């Protein structure tokens, strides 16, 4: 597989993971952390780190908004138990 195709597939899988997590807001971060060893916040940190590796400055809040699909505070108020 060529690198461009692999990158496109990786990106598609990431978008699908975000959509899946968005559809399952009832699954709390602590549940994810306990069963999978990572949570939405981890994904946001990895996203920010990847941006940094590309020389792109991205705030924690912007990275979290990408993962949560809305500002983090709003998501917490609506969905965090």
Distance CA 65, CA 70 (A): 5
φ and ψ at residue 19, rounded to 5 degrees = -65, -40
Tens place of pLDDT per residue across the chain (81 aa): 999 999 999 999 999 999 999 999 999 999 999 999 999 999 999 999 999 999 999 999 999 999 999 999 999 999 998
Distance CA 61, CA 24 (A): 21
Distance CA 16, CA 2 (A): 21
Question: Domains of the chain (ranges plus CATH)?
Answer: 3-79 (1.10.3340.10)
Q: What is the DSSP letter of 29?
A: H
pTM comes to: 0.90
Which region holds residue 37: left if phi is over 0, alpha if psi is between -120 and 50, else beta? Answer: left
């Amino acid at each position: 597989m060529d690198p461009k195709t692999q990158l496109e597939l990786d990106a598609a899988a990431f978008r699908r993971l975000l959509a899946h997590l968005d559809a399952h807001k009832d699954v709390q971060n602590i549940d994810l952390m306990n069963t999978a060893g990572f949570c939405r916040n981890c994904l946001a940190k990895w996203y920010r780190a990847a941006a940094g590796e590309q020389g792109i400055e991205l705030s924690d809040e912007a990275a979290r908004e990408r993962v949560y699909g809305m500002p983090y505070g709003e998501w917490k108020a609506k969905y965090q138990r």
